[in-house]
Structure 1
Amino acid sequence: MNAKTQSILSYLGILWLVAYFGGKDHRDANSIYHLKQGLGLLVVAILYNLVVTIVISIAPGIGQIIGYVGVVFLILMILGIIHVVNEIKKPLPLIGGFFEDKFSFIQ
């Protein structure tokens, strides 16, 4: 798997694992950057979904409104893939800056 394919897969949720384990031999600085951004997006999305699930179980009316905010993660995923295609190392809006220096195990 080449570096660009690996970078695109890193934004597609659970396919992050395929990108991480399947492309260890063909990583470059760009793919490492996008692996970190993709993992950060995945972690934040999972945490968000856990919180929304708890809120929905407590107050169903409020939880449904909050649940629609989940579309933001789809938009961030699409922006990340656009950055990969254009070969730009640019952090995702809102959360990307936080994950630029995290996840040191990705090399």
Structure 2
Amino acid sequence: MTNRNMAIVGYITIIGWAIAYFSYRNGKEKSSFVRYHLNQSLGIVLLSVALSFISAILLSIVPSLATLLYLVSLIPFVFMLLGIITAANETQRPVPVIGKWVEGKFNL
């Protein structure tokens, strides 16, 4: 699998991230490009989990916020698409909002 493909697959759900991570880890060449995008996609996954918990708690308290919370849950999906586009263009640009915060946080 090429570096570009590993970076793109890393954004596609947690299973795709695991496939890309193990391909990267078992590969002979450790690309900073792939590592960067694996960090960004892991940040998106963690954001998604956090938003799910927060949404579930808020939804149990205020059920009338269901539509708003549904729209908020689409934010990680949009970040994922932006990450895929960035990886497909073979650039290392951070994902909006959380990208700068995630850079260098995970030791992959």
Q: Which residue of 1 aligns with 2:75?
A: 72
Q: Deviations over 1:20-54 (max 9, x none)?
A: 11332053110000000000010011110111011
Q: TM-score, normalised by structure 1?
A: 0.90
Counterpart amino acid of residue 61 in structure 2: I
SS in 1 for 2:53: helix
Gaps of 5+ in 1: none
- Matches of 1:2 and 1:10 in 2, distance apart? 12
1:20 aligns with 2:18: no
Root-mean-square deviation (CA, aligned residues, Å) is: 1.3
Deviation, 1:56, is 1.1
The more displaced of 72-81 and 33-42 is: 72-81
CA contact (8 A) 1:83 1:90 kept: yes
1:9 correspondence with 2:9: yes
Amino acid at match of 1:3: N
Kindly state the Cα deviation for residue 59 of structure 1 after the two structures are TM-superposed.
1.3
- After TM superposition, where is structure 1 displaced by more than 6 Å over at least 4 residues in a row? none
Could you tell me whether the CA contact under 8 Å between 1:9 and 1:19 is conserved in 2? yes
What are the equivalent positions in structure 2 for 1:53-92 lying under 5 Å apart?
Answer: 53-92=56-95
Count of residue pairs the alignment pairs up: 105
Range with bigger deviation, 65-74 or 85-94: 65-74
Amino acid at match of 1:2: T
Percent sequence identity over aligned pairs: 31
Residue ranges of structure 2 left out of the alignment (5+ in a row): none
- Greater shift, 39-48 or 21-30, is seen at 21-30
Normalising by structure 2, we get a TM-score of 0.89
